[in-house]
Amino acid sequence: MSGTAIIGLGNMGQGMARNILKASIGLKGFDLSEAARARFAEDGGTPAASAAEAAEGCDLLLVMVQTPAQAQDVLFGTGGAAAALDPGSTVILCSTVAPSDARALGTALGDVGHLMLDAPVSGGMKGAEAGALTVMASGAPEAFTRAEAVLEAVAKTVHRLGDAPGMGATYKVVHQLAAGVHLAAAAELLALGAKAGCDPQKLFEIVTGSAGQSWMLEDRGPRMMQADPACASSVDIFVKDVGLVLQTGKEASVPLPLAAAAHQMFLGASALGHGAEDDSKVIRAYEALTGKTVHES
C-alpha cells in the first residue's frame, strides 16, 4: 500500500482522522478550512494545500464532505483528487448521498480505474470522536479488503450490504428518515409541552424514562433547552439528508408524509437563520410558531 488520505475535516471527519492516526496509519488531509487543517496537523496528520495534493501518492482516499456536489467536485472537478490518486486506488465515500449519486460516482471512478466503497456512517460527532461509528457499506470485495484497517479504526460496526455502490447509500438514507422524523418529533413534543404549561426539563425526564423515549430526544433534548448549544451537526445537514430521503422516495414511488413534514420544519429553522447552527435548533421553528420559548433565555 502507498498512502492514505482524507478529504473533509469537519465535525465528523476530524474525529475519524484522529482515530486513523491513532491506529498508526499515516494520513494526509485536506479541508477548505485553514483552522481544520491546523487541528489535523496538531493531531499528527500531514495537511495538504488542495484535494489533489492530499490524494497524490495515495491509493486509499476517504471522502467525508457534506453533499454529493461537493464529492463530485473533490473527485472530478476543481479538487482533481481522482486524477491525482495512484492507479487502481480505492475511494471510501463516507458522505451521505442519494443512492443514484453513489452509483454514478462509483461508475465514474470505475471508468478511470479506481474502486469505490459506498460507506456512509452514522453516530455523529460523538461516534466519530470515539471511533465507534456504524458504517453501512457496499462495494467490491477488494475495496472492503483495502479499506479494512481504516474502517476498523473509525467504526464499531461495519455492515456489508452488497458488492456494488448504491446499497450503502440506500440503507443510510432510509436510516435518516428515522433520524430526521425523531429529531423533529422531539422538538415538537417539547414545544407542545412548553405551550401547554409543562416544565420542559421535567417533560424530558418523563418521556426519556417512558415508552416515548427516543435516542434523538435523549441526545438533542438537552441542547434544545439551551440558548446557544455547541454545533455537533447542523440544521442544514438535515435539510440535505431528509431531502435525500424524499428524493429516494420519489425515485421508488413511495409516499413519505412524515419525512415531508419533518423536512418543512428543518427548512423553517434554516430560513430563520439557524441553518449553520446545531440541528437541535429545529426547535426554533416551533418556537416561532407557538410564540413560546423552550430554551433558557
Which residues are identified as catalytic?
Answer: 172
Q: What is the rounded distance in angstroms from the CA atom of residue 293 to the CA atom of residue 59?
A: 51
Residue 260's DSSP bridge partners are none
Distances (CA, A) of 110 to 69, 174, 286, 287: 18, 26, 46, 48
Locate 211 and state its grid cell: 415508552
Q: What is the rounded distance in angstroms from the CA atom of residue 268 to the CA atom of residue 283?
A: 10
Distances (CA, A) of 127 to 14, 82, 134, 152: 12, 28, 8, 13
Is 246 exposed, middle or buried (CB count within 10 Å of its CB: 0-12, 13-18, 19+)?
Answer: middle
> How many residues can be counted in the chain?
297
Q: H-type helices in the chain, by residue range?
A: 11-22, 34-42, 51-55, 68-76, 81-84, 99-111, 124-130, 141-154, 167-196, 200-208, 215-224, 235-252, 257-269, 283-290
Provide the sign of the torsion angle of the four alpha carbons 267, 269, 272, 276, taken in this order: negative
Is 174 exposed, middle or buried (CB count within 10 Å of its CB: 0-12, 13-18, 19+)?
Answer: middle
